[in-house]
Amino acid sequence: MILKRSDRHSVAISTKKKSDGALAQPLFSCALDDSLWLSDAEAIKHALDNHFATFYQTNKVPVEPPKGVYTFVAQCGISGVILGPPNHHDYQNQLRRLHTERFARMPFDAFKARVKIVRDEAVVKKWVEDQSFRAEYTCLNVAEPLTLATREDVERHFREVHAPSIIRPIDSITLTQDAMKKLRNPTLLRAIRGALDAQRRFPLQVATHLSQQFATRSLQFFKVNKTVTHVSVARPHYLDLETNVVTPGVKKIVDYINANPGCTRRKLIDAMVPGGMPATPPPPPAAAAGATPAADAAPAAAAAEKAPLSPELQAFASDLHWLIHQGHVIEFATGVMETAKKPVIKPPPAKPAPVVAAPAPAAAVVEASVSATQAPSDPPAVASSPEGETSPASPS
């Protein structure tokens, strides 16, 4: 029930340490959106890709367009980015930069194989126009004006100036469902999915956590018939009426529940309390003209809430309350009531019978005695083992 809906559970992630005290895997959080990452490089790349305009402004500066006549250009078949003619001096830099920034998880040769040659004049013209401008980056939120020439300079500046206050290492964090939807790291996503799948198959951690939470609220976990787990104010505790002295009211409740399987609180009251539950008082008559409805409704509601209970019903409620809180009676969520079952005493394991050795025949005793007292005439010979060691040879 808890794991069936995502809004009913959260996921706790924490780091582990090796035997030497070093972190097995660090964990980083980006303060801009509380996203989680396994390295500061990933976190910095995420911050620049998604929050670039918060720290830098991009300006286009006109430059001299590339000289020469170009009839074709290379284009990434995955992203559509135009890389330029393969014989252009900056082509290899553009190719490496695109692979590093967007397709680092793909082998470079596989990425390079997806590059295609395009001879469309419109595509070639667009590349020439793009090369007629150069991007400059103006730093924002800094004390002194600063302009950076390349994206590499921007990343270096962000790492030195902004990253220490935005990208921070953490030891543990608890994620809600909304926070889990923001996760972008594939390793973390696989780990969370694996943990959730494992708990759906065998929810030991969830059950342990729930048991601890319920215990702080004076509720106990227990299983009925070793199958379904239930929660109540007390664990089942068998009440032996033959060895324990109880009041007649308590005994009547226990006997009635045992004699009537599927008994509910309503059936129990109707059977054991004269008159059963008090009838609900009828609603007050309509207020007279000019009377204030709120003023008349309050005393009527108070009177209905303070309707006196009969002494028999009060005694019954006290006995049933004691039985439930002692664990002698279990009231399930369905309303069905049962008494705690008598524990089955397992018999002690049977001890194995001692093994008595049969007496040896007289001839064997005499032969063994003679063999043990007879001294060898020659010293034992020594034979070589396969490994080159020496060992006594067995008699022939």
Which is more confidently placed, 300 or 151? 151
Task: Answer yes or no: is pLDDT of 373 > 60.
Answer: no
Given a contact cutoff of 8 angstroms between Cβ atoms, the answer to whether 199 and 216 are in contact is no
Model confidence band, residue 65 (pLDDT cutoffs 50, 70, 90):
confident
Residues 302-329 pLDDT 10s: 554 556 778 888 899 999 999 999 999 9
Q: In this model, does residue 372 exceed pLDDT 80?
A: no
Q: Which pLDDT score is estimated for 279?
A: 63
Instruction: Note the pLDDT of residue 287.
Output: 47
pLDDT value at position 368? 41
Indicate the SS3 state at residue 126. Answer: helix
pTM over 0.75: no
390 pLDDT higher than 60: no
Per-residue pLDDT reduced to its tens digit, 19-53: 898 999 999 999 998 899 999 999 999 999 999 99
Percentage of residues in the chain with pLDDT exceeding 70?
Answer: 81
What's the pLDDT at 296? 54
CA distance 383 to 295: 116
Q: In the chain, which ranges are continuous DSSP H helix?
A: 40-55, 91-102, 108-113, 121-130, 151-157, 163-166, 177-181, 186-201, 204-215, 248-259, 265-272, 293-305, 311-325, 362-373
Model pLDDT, residue 154: 93
Strand partners for 220: 232
- Partners of 12 in beta bridges: 174
- CA–CA separation, 15 vs 191, rounded Å? 13
Q: Mean pLDDT throughout 280-285?
A: 59
User: Among the listed ranges 24-33, 37-46, 222-231, 239-248, which one has the minimum average pLDDT value?
Assistant: 222-231
Among 71-75, 144-148, 228-232, which stretch is predicted with the lowest mean pLDDT?
228-232
pLDDT (mean) for 119-124: 92
The per-residue pLDDT for range 128-169, each reduced to its tens digit, is 888 888 889 999 988 889 999 988 899 999 999 999 999 999
- Tell me the average pLDDT across 372-379: 44
CB atoms within 10 A of CB 30: 22
Model confidence at 384: pLDDT above 70: no
**Banded model confidence at residue 339, pLDDT cuts 50, 70, 90:** very high
Residue 388 pLDDT exceeds 80? no
Residue with the two structure tokens 């000019």: 290
Cα–Cα distance, 135 to 59 (Å, whole number): 6
CA angle 252, 258, 263 (to 5 degrees): 90
Residue 264's pLDDT band (cuts 50, 70, 90): very high
User: Can you give the pLDDT at residue 50?
Assistant: 92
**Alpha-carbon separation of residue 193 from 10, 38, 189, 199 (angstroms):** 12, 17, 6, 10
pLDDT of amino acid 299 = 54
Averaged pLDDT score across all residues of the chain: 81
